[in-house]
Amino acid sequence: MTDRSLIMDEAALWVVRISDNPDSSMRAAFDAWLAQSPEHRMCYQIALAGWERLDGLGSLRLEPADDRIALPPAPPQARRRLAWPRALALAASLAAVIIVPIALLVPGEPALAYATRPGEHREIRLADGSRVELNSNSAIVVRFGHHIREVDLVHGEAAFHVTSGSRRFEVHVRHTVVDMTSGDFGVRLDTDGPRVTVANGLVELSGADARVGPGNLQLAANTVAKVTPDALEVQHLPATEVSRQLTWQNGMLQFDGQSLAEAVTDFNRSNRQQIHIGDPVIGQLHIGGLFRAADINGFADAVALTLPVTVRHNADGDIELTARQPR
Amino acid sequence: MTNDEERTRWFRREVLPLQSRLQSFARRFSRASAKEPEDLVHDVLLRMFTLERWRAVDRPLSYAAQTLRNLVLAEVRHNKVVPIVPLPVLEWAELADDRPGADREAEARDDLRLLRELIDALPPQCRRVVTLKKIHGLSNAEIAETMGLSISTVEKHLVKGLRTCLQQWSVGTAAPSDEDCNSHDRSLADHGRGRALGRTHQR
């Protein structure tokens, strides 16, 4: 290797390091390196110029005319496979069939949960241990089998916490497929198309007609992709903004095996309306699930559905929980 | 701004964009000089980078080409070797498009597509790291975490990606042909036209 090549390698490494962290404690070592000769300083300038030239790539993030990341409208038949689950989901929502997602129970026993109720937030635990948090007025269809881990987001918004498995985890929304092996991401279906927010892991985005491009589009942590009929916009966001976008669960209370007494204490702290536990024994029951902190009545109803508990509203509006008498 | 800073700016703005053209000149001296064309250009750039009287240079390409020729002459004299091939004559009159910014304009027009081609040609892992860095703007630590690599491995991939791009830029966007390397009597004008055609074709 010539001196030229060696110095250029070192210069490139300094550019990579210093640009990544300008306050770096390596600064002194860098200055010493620069001081060695004009050739070192020149090589650094050459490397830096190239590095900055590569910044031009950043415009690919928002380049709608680019044929590789533009997402053409999918033909209507493209998602034929989805037809019946969609119809099912539609029928389910029309019939107002509600399966309250909660669970209870004895610690250690898996919490079973499916489904959706408009106006509620629900946490759904899937068979593989992954979790789905469903925002209000949202609907999903879950298809799990030996060869698939698929969720259709029919409408609304959901956050997915995917555990690693032998299969990729796919979320279908409109004509877009979002998939990953493990990590956390959110999908929201707006009127103009879906938005995908990645908190952790590497997500792949593809169109149903597979025309996003060879190898699909990869979204790293802290990126947001907005798919419209014409284009795909990908933005990198600070981690704080990503977590804000994904924490519509804010103001939520989540329980995972806590006692009913502890849960009630939490609810009472955030509500004027109070819950009283009439029988100490039910306070020892364990519950699980995700609840809106302000929805104290919804919580009481959910508890009554899943635990041997009767809900009674007192004259002052407070709620009393008592043990349901065996018949 | 100090004189050094101003000179560095001038070097970045006026001299560095000439690199690929100097490279094609240097290839024409390959029989006379024992040095690789890359090393010749590197030496020329270094002369320009350290030039005391840089403000007096009003045509950087001409100046750099003359410097290149002088370096080869000095090498030949130093080695006391009589060149068996004549040194190519750079026809200064044909350096007329040596106006400031000519290369930079072309660079700006071509860059995005060329950048894409450059990145797409990188080895897969290197390409992913560079993509996460330059398209998605991740920090080195975030890339390391996302891809399950050590930070030093991420740095190595970034260095490799950057060096590959620098290498491509330094030799020019048009692939050098054998003819470029062998012809001694082709005028710069011919060469310039060929290059312009190459660019048009790429766009």
The closest of B101, B15, B108 to A45, measured between CA atoms, is B15
Residue bearing tokens 């985005």: A205
Q: How sure is the predictor about A243, in pLDDT bands with cuts at 50, 70 and 90? A: low
CB of B34 within 8 Å of any CB in chain A?
Answer: no
Tell me the average pLDDT of chain A.
73
Q: By CA distance, what is A8's nearest residue in B?
A: B163
Both tokens of B31, joined, read 């029989």
- What is the torsional sign of CA B160, B162, B163, B169? positive
Give the 3-state secondary structure of A40-83. Answer: HHHHHHHHHHHHHHHHHHHHHHHCCCCCCCCCCCCCHHHHHHHH
Would you call A144 helix, strand, or coil by DSSP?
strand
Chain centre distance of CA A21:
29
Both tokens of A239, joined, read 């981690």
Q: How sure is the predictor about B196, in pLDDT bands with cuts at 50, 70 and 90? A: very low
Rounded Cα gap, residues A264 and B118, in angstroms: 60
Paired sense of beta strands A193-200 and A183-190, if any: antiparallel
A2: chain B residues, CB-CB within 8 Å: 36, 39
CB of A60 within 8 Å of any CB in chain B?
Answer: yes
- Cβ separation B111–A53 shorter than 8 A: yes
pLDDT at residue A292, rounded to an integer: 74
Out of A9, A55, A236, closest to residue B163 by CB = A9
Q: pLDDT tens across A71-125, in order? A: 333 333 333 333 344 444 444 444 333 333 333 322 332 323 455 554 466 777 7
A51: chain B residues, CB-CB within 8 Å: 162
Q: pLDDT tens across A120-174, in order? A: 667 777 777 788 888 767 778 777 766 678 888 887 888 898 888 777 888 888 8
Out of A39, A51, A61, closest to residue B135 by CB = A61
Mutate which: A1, A3, A10, A16, vs B, most B CBs within 10 A: A16
- Cβ separation B162–A50 shorter than 8 A: yes
C-alpha gyration radius of chain B: 19
B42: chain A residues, CB-CB within 8 Å: 4
CB of B146 within 8 Å of any CB in chain A?
Answer: yes
- What is the torsional sign of CA A298, A303, A304, A306? positive
Query: How near does any CA of chain B get to the CA of A49, in Å?
Result: 7
pLDDT at residue B200, rounded to an integer: 33
Q: How sure is the predictor about A256, in pLDDT bands with cuts at 50, 70 and 90? A: low
Mutate which: B135, B145, B169, B171, vs A, most A CBs within 10 A: B135
The residue-averaged pLDDT of A180-193 equals 84
- Cβ separation A42–B134 shorter than 8 A: no
